Amino acid sequence: MIRKVSLVLLVMFFVAAGANHFRDPELYLPMMPDWLPWHRGLIALSGVAEILGGLGAGFLKWRRRAGWWLIALLVAVFPANVQMLVDHIPIAGKQLPEWVLWARLPLQLVMMIWVWWTCVKRRDVN
């Protein structure tokens, strides 16, 4: 039962997070490291990747692959979290306390563990 609830929450989280890349792309622009090209395109691409990963996790046939996809995505967006910390980038115009910016870094690992436990470890959650 816990894994089923976790799966539903995971699907909803990643689909909503991905959709937000299209609803409010300006939110993500300041987080983009300067060394990355094509900022708007990468924001859209990461949004599509989150939506596809979230939807894929919802289907048993695709769950394991979607899990690895989402873990790779979380690794790929990690530099944006580092950029937020280094440049003290506000979110939605609000400056976050430095401890929150630091906490976001290990939170990526927690999210990877969540995805692994929900999608990769076992495939029998319907």
pLDDT in tens, 50-91: 999 999 999 999 999 999 999 999 999 999 899 989 998 888
Contacts of 107 (CB under 8 A, 6+ apart): none
Residue reference for tokens 């859209």: 44
Range list of H helices, the chain: 2-23, 39-57, 60-76, 78-87, 98-115
- d(CA 49, CA 72) in angstroms, rounded, equals 10
pTM of the model: 0.89
For residue 123, the model assigns a pLDDT of 55
In whole angstroms, what separates CA 97 from the centre of its chain? 21
Chain segment 8-26, per-residue pLDDT in tens: 999 999 999 999 999 999 9
For residue 105, the model assigns a pLDDT of 94
Q: Mean pLDDT for the chain?
A: 92
Contacts of 91 (CB under 8 A, 6+ apart): 27, 84
- d(CA 113, CA 126) in angstroms, rounded, equals 19
